[in-house]
Structure 1
Amino acid sequence: MVKQYNTKAIMASLLICGFVGMFSETALNIAISNLMVVFDISAATAQWLTTGFLLTLGILMPMTGLLLQWFTTRQLFVGSLASSIVGTLIAALAVNFEMLMVARVLQAAGMGLLIPLMFNTILVVYPPEKRGAAMGFVGLVIMFAPATGPTVAGLMIEYLTWHYIFWLSLPVLIVGLLVGLKYLENVTEVTKPHIDILSVVLSTVGFGGVVFGFSKAGEGSEGWGHPVVVASIAIGLAALALFVLRQVTMREPMMNMRVFKYPMFIVGLLMVLSCMMIILSSMIILPMYLQNGMALSAFAAGLMLLPGSALNGFLSPYMGRLFDKYGPKWLVIPGLAIVAAALWFFSGITPATSIAFIVALHIGLMVGISMVWMPAQTNGLNQLPPELYPHGTAVMNTLQQVAGAIGTAVAISILTQGMERYLGSSSAPTEVVEVANAMTFGSQHVFLFAMIVTLIGLAMALFIRRVIVNHAAPMHSMH
């Protein structure tokens, strides 16, 4: 007898809260230049509002597999929302940078618990043949919230103050909490596995060090050769190597490496990581290019990116249903081909390129991503036996944060080096036109980098097979 859940209400409470969390993550990015003036801080300091957020996620996410087995669904839900609500309130009242920074860490902690909880709950309450559509709704939230963030924030900054970004989020979070308290049931069993302190320390130093090192390199001022960057990436990688060794030898690992025995999980994971790198590298460069290369306002740049991102969000549930019906292959391979084509055209844009063409390319890019992301992720997780669900979601979510930090850092450094190379050979490097040209030159190289990542993804996608769910044998051959 399969237990019946009120899936609609459970999903509603999780999705409302997830939406607000993802929204405030990107909404603040548009406000950064404004905050630099208000708080009188440098770009490198302001960058910490984003880096600190990512760092908290990178440290917390590896532990979620363990937390999902230690606490009930409701306990984790209430904990994550309490952290988000307190963080949002502090942010709305913030009078200085330090207050806002504390608020960001609390918000990130809330999100770091909520996202794995959302994936894990879907795997438990939906049967495999309906998971694609459910995951599609998560895709809608994960893509649509960050897409609306900059546009709404642009409006708020223009007509109100940045505080309203958080005042707007607060009542929605409270509604989400109330809906969850009423309808959310405990869907996982609490097994309270042994907590290995050494694993926690190694994972914190490892993932934290790597995310911090890449974020620091991405700031552009210090670059890759800076001792802090080199040291934190090196220490991070060493700690990760020890962490993996320890997990493999433990009886009750914090993050179970057995998930890597399942070939479709690995293919799905690699697809998701390449999508994350493509999205982040292009989503950071494109608004910068529109504002600095084409001299558009923040609000105009936000509006231009809205159709593609909104469409990506709206298509996610449909892609999920198509995946449930036809499997991943017919979505993932054409999707990556569309992404590669869009990026190829992007690598040729100039300040003279029409706005309509850029909007059309961005729509193509985002539609392609929606065909790849959720189908590949759901297919990968479907191959795992139920006891590995918390570990599979923890591995996917953690590595996504790492891939995000790496994608961002690589994009920013390719951009910076491209601009420096161009301006170095220019006869009038300070003129506005030349700076815009340098920005174009750098951006084109970033899009080429993203296209190479896509083509590698496309080669891997040829191995994707639909997972037929029977949890008897772990090792399926690739054929």
Structure 2
Amino acid sequence: MSSEINLDQIKKGPMIAVMLLGAFFALLNETLLATALPTIINDFGITENKAQWLTTAFLLTNGVMIPISAFLIERFTTRQIFLTAISVFTAGTLVAGISHTFPLLLTARVIQAAGSGIMLPLMMTVVLTIIPVEKRGGAMGAAGLVIAFAPAIGPTLSGWLLEHFSWRSLFLVVLPISILTLIIAYFAVKNVTKQTNPKIDILSILLSSFGFGGLLFGFSTAGEDGWTDTKVLTCIIGGAIILALFIWRQLRLKTPILEFRVFKFKIFSISLIITMVVLMSLIGAETLLPLYMQTARGFSPLESGLMLLPGAIVMGIMSPITGVLFDKVGARVLAIPGLLIVSVTTFLFTNLSMDTSFTYLAIIYAIRMFGLSLAMMPVMTSGLNQLPQKWNAHGSAMANTLQQVSASIGTAILVTTMTTAAKNYEPDMTDFQGLSQAEAQQQIMNAATINGYNTAFLVASFLSVAGMVLALFLKKGKGTEEASHVEQE
């Protein structure tokens, strides 16, 4: 057992700032490569399916690392974990930037994800450890800025870089800032988490890796291959069975690598479900809107990235503000109107057409992100505040793991809905009278595509409404009462 840590002697601002910077570039890398895949396909002469592994492998490695982050946080010091994670991420970024073969680039992405998968849950655990419950909103608001802003700005940044430089610039731009973060972290990051030195349970780590990995891979490929594909079904069903065995084992172990008893706190469970449902709607929309702009409307990757930018800026400005508001009024007062805004603006995307303007898309998306900023981090902070200090690492790991899973599920559901609705579209032929056969066929194809997107956004609207209904069950006020007495359990 490590000696008692005196948190009063630690400079909290610089430490949280450097960890936020590390988490920012870790999350930025999730979406940075999306617009670069066509260029990489041409450069290496590979298929689209093969290139997609650059994103899938990153997601899978993240999904494997995040659940075991709680174990690592309890096993090693804060400095050891963060410096190792940022070093591994930096090494992966360097290898990616100089990669001249596809297998080397794929390996680099896995190395990157091995480091980045630990940074976000570690940052959240540190915030929960060194910031008092009544002041956490502001710090978690800054975390919310990172969580929402980094993935949203990725397509815009990559679109601009690709217009002027090669795809390698996506990594070479991140590299010096990653090295700078490592240098600052050496001086700023102190040991704040307690080491309980849990035993390594190899079987639990294997079950976690194959369980969460199987689910993530199954759902991430379901959107492309369909829900009836043998590989998709095998991964989802197999992953679910292995995950059930993992949960059963964790409940039997004296010191589990991931503590599932966090779900006995009702507000934590409700908060996590709300976050998952809203994320399914959010990530799905962030995937569908650029697809709609590029495939149906012919906008460039940079233009579709610029459409998302105002929303990212709104989220960036609002996240710290809503964090401060949370400390004063609690999550419920913010989440209900926030999710109402998300629901209404998502529904406004159900009337897309071949003439919908760039300005309309950018404004509605920005208002949607404003609503999301009121709900996302306040709800998550409210849930994490319910947990005893000793379970902070497990709460952070659980929240981040289920966010990854819900993002994959949401994307798969909405992309599948879109393709199915487009395929089953039955046109009213009277709308196409007087047109040549070629013109009529083109307009029918356009109408089918638009119908697919509108139907997918209708499903996303239902998800947002479900999140708003669940928010009614959150506690009134700041919701910190349970956290104080729960330590005694």
Distance 1:208 1:403 in 2: 13
Tell me if structure 2 keeps the 8 A contact 1:59–1:203. yes
Q: Percent of aligned pairs with the same residue?
A: 39
Paired with 1:137 and 1:348, the residues of 2 have a C-alpha distance of 34
Query: Structure 1 pair 296/432, CA: closer, same or farther in 2 (3 Å)?
Result: farther
Q: Report the alpha carbon displacement of residue 293 of structure 1 after superposing the two structures with TM.
A: 1.7
- Cα pair distance change 1:429/1:208, threshold 3 Å: farther
For residues 195-250 of structure 1, the C-alpha deviation after alignment (integer angstroms, 9 at most, x for no partner) is 222211111111011111111212x2x31111111111111111111111111122
* Aligned-residue offset at 1:437: 2.6
2:166 aligned with 1:161:
yes
The answer for the alignment partner of 2:337 in structure 1 is: 334
Conservation of the 8 A alpha-carbon contact between 1:147 and 1:310: no
Q: What are the within-5 Å matches in structure 2 for residues 403-418 of structure 1?
A: 403-418=406-421
Question: Contact 1:423 / 1:435 at 8 angstroms: preserved in 2?
Answer: no
Give 1:154 shift: 0.9
Matched-pair contact (CA < 8 Å) for 1:293–1:437: no
Alignment deviations for residues 243-268 of structure 1 (CA, whole Å, 9 cap, x no partner): 11111122111111110111110111
Structure 2 counterpart of 1:347, one-letter code: T
The equivalent position to 1:467 in structure 2, one of 467, 471, 479, is 479
2:460 to 450, 465, 478: 450
Counterpart secondary structure, 2:351 = coil
Match of 2:64 among 50, 59, 62: 59
Match of 2:348 in 1: 345
Matched, 1:239 2:249: no
| 1:266-281 correspondence runs (5 A) | 266-281=269-284
User: Which residue of structure 2 aligns with residue 438 of structure 1?
Assistant: 448
Query: Deviation digits for residues 87-116 of structure 1, max 9, x if unmatched?
Result: 100110011211111111111111101111
Secondary structure at the aligned position of 1:422 is classed as: coil
Q: Is the 8 A contact 2:134 2:480 kept in 1?
A: no
CA distance in 2, matches of 1:72, 1:305: 38
The worse-fitting range, judged by mean Cα deviation, of 145-154 and 178-187 is 145-154
Structure 1 residues not aligned, in runs of 5+ = none
1:208 counterpart SS class: helix
Q: What do residues 358-403 of structure 1 show as CA deviations (whole Å, max 9, x unaligned)?
A: 1111011111111111000000000100001011111111111111
The 5 Å alignment of 1:423-434 reads 432-434=442-444
Alpha-carbon offset, residue 168 of structure 1:
0.5
Mapping for residues 210-289 of structure 1, pairs under 5 Å: 210-218=215-223, 220=224, 222-289=225-292
Distance 1:103-1:390 versus aligned 2 partners, 3 A rule? same
1:420 positional shift: 1.5
Preserved contact between residue 388 and residue 487 of structure 2 (Cα < 8 Å)? no
Match of 1:26 among 11, 22, 31: 31
Q: Structure 2: which 5+ runs fail to align? A: 1-5, 430-436
- Is structure 2 residue 129 aligned with structure 1 residue 124? yes
Do 1:271 and 1:372's aligned partners in 2 also have CA atoms closer than 8 Å? no
Q: Deviation string for 1:301-344 (max 9, x for gaps)?
A: 11111001121122101010000111111110001100000011
Q: 2:89 aligns with which of 84, 87, 91?
A: 84
Residues 1:306 and 2:314 aligned together? no
- Asked if 2 retains the 8 angstrom alpha-carbon contact of 1:17 and 1:172, the reply is no
**Which 4+ stretches in 1 moved above 6 angstroms?**
423-427
Q: 1:278 to 1:75 in 2, by over 3 A?
A: same
Partners in 2 of 1:297 and 1:140 — Cα distance?
Answer: 26
Supply the distance in 2 between the matched residues of 1:382 and 1:375 (Cα, whole angstroms). 10
Structure 1 contact 277–408 (Cα < 8 Å) conserved: yes
Q: Relative to structure 1, is the Cα distance of residues 432 and 6 closer, same or farther in structure 2, using a 3 angstrom cutoff? A: farther
Shift of 1:276: 1.4
The farther-off stretch of 156-165 and 424-433 is 424-433
2:434 corresponds to which residue? none
Compared CA separation, residues 425 and 162, structure 1 to 2 (3 A): farther
1:266 & 1:63 partners in 2: Cα distance?
A: 20
Q: Paired residues, what number?
A: 474
Tell me the TM-score normalized by structure 1. 0.95
- Preserved contact between residue 336 and residue 472 of structure 2 (Cα < 8 Å): yes
Amino acid paired to 2:310: P
- Displacement, 1:431? 5.0
Match of residue 401 from structure 2: 398
The normalised TM-score by structure 2 is 0.93
Task: Give CA-to-partner distance per residue, 1:259-297, whole Å, 9 cap, x none.
Answer: 011111011101211121111110000000011222211
1:295 aligns with 2:315: no
CA RMSD of aligned residues (A): 1.9
Structure 2 contact 94–175 (Cα < 8 Å) conserved: yes
Work out which of the residue numbers 383, 386, 396 in structure 1 matches 2:386. Answer: 383
Q: Which stretch has the larger CA shift, 308-317 or 379-388?
A: 308-317
Matched position secondary structure for 1:408: helix
Flag the 1:475–1:138 CA change in 2: closer, same or farther, 3 A.
closer
